[in-house]
Amino acid sequence: VGDYAFVAAGEAGLRVISVADKSSPTEVGLCNTPGYAHDVHMLGNYAYVADEWGGLRIISVVDKSRPMEVSFYDTPGYAYGIHAVGDYAYVADRHKGLRIISIYDASNPVEVGSFDTTSPYRAQAVHVVGDYAYVADGSDGLRIISVADKSNPTEVGFCDTPGYAHDVHVVRDYAYVADGESGLRVISVADKSNPLEVGYCNVPGSAVGVHIAGNYAYVAAGEAGLHVISIVDKSNPMEVGYHST
């Protein structure tokens, strides 16, 4: 965000890194969390951290050198993924599915709704676009959940990917799923009730994270590094670059 990267650093909590000088990123602040910081989403002056057994942690980053926790919500499962939009935080809470938490008052987050996904222990990540939450649900693939009524979220469609859905990023009519040993899967979500896979690209190792920017998917594959995949042709995504990490 701007000149800063906010990193969910596992047992090391939230780390704030200045990337003003791209050739020499420098840590400028940190905030320890009680659990294992697995994911982070920025919204306004707050970092929303999915902290596994530590639940949802809300951290003020007004002062980048001294980020401070202002509140938390102890989700019933293990907070693995987080997406904050407007007045709500959507948490992929492993065996407790999707949790919807009001963050209208950042000092007092309150759960307003939930949906138990079909796969126990496996709600890994969530991406919210409009009235829909797209959940990477482990061995049960991609689940599409209507969140128009926050108090009563309802599944409207699913696509059972061949691998283990670790992460998802949605852009317009397509969901891009990091599907473990089955690589990157491209799924049309134009019809929410009937999502269909339209293409895929295998990567070495296990695809555990994905982010879309422009015509490229950036896929994190654990020890197999970072893979850059062109998605210009959705039916035939092609790897164009790689970096060993």
CA distance 214 to 161: 24
Residue 155: name the closest of 123, 128, 129, 132 by CA.
132
Q: What percent of the chain has pLDDT over 90?
A: 95
**17-23 long-range Cβ contacts below 8 angstroms, 24+ apart:** 18/64
Neighbour tally for 30: CB within 10 Å: 17
Compute the chain's Rg from CA coordinates: 17
SS3 243: strand
Question: Do 122 and 138 form a contact (C-beta atoms < 8 A)?
Answer: yes
Residues sharing a CB contact under 8 Å with residue 213, sequence separation 6 or more, in sequence order: none
What pLDDT does residue 117 have?
86
Report the pLDDT averaged over residues 96-105: 97
Flag whether pLDDT at 242 surpasses 70: yes
CA dist 161 and 191 (Å) reads 17
CB 153 within 8 A of CB 143: no
Could you tell me the sign of the dihedral formed by the alpha carbons of 234, 236, 240, 243, in that order?
Answer: positive
* Each residue's pLDDT tens digit, 106-120: 999 999 999 998 666
Residue with tokens 């019809």: 191
Q: Which strands sit side by side in the sheet containing 110-115, from one edge to the other?
A: 81-85, 88-92, 98-102, 110-115
- Tell me the average pLDDT across 170-194: 98
Q: Is residue 184 within 8 Å of 166, Cβ to Cβ?
A: no
Average pLDDT estimate for 123-136: 98
Q: Which residue has the tokens 């969910």?
A: 8
pLDDT given at position 119:
61
Average pLDDT over residues 64-90: 98
Residue 26 token pair: 């420098």
Tokens of 39: 């994911």
Map residue 54 onto helix, strand or coil: coil
What the block records as the tokens of 82 is: 């987080």
CA distance 179 to 127: 15
How far is 39 from 58, CA to CA, in rounded Å? Answer: 12
The residue written with tokens 């982010």 in the block is: 211
Give the pLDDT score at 120. 63
pLDDT band at 163 (very low <50, low <70, confident <90, very high): very high
216-226 per-position pLDDT tens digit? 999 999 999 99
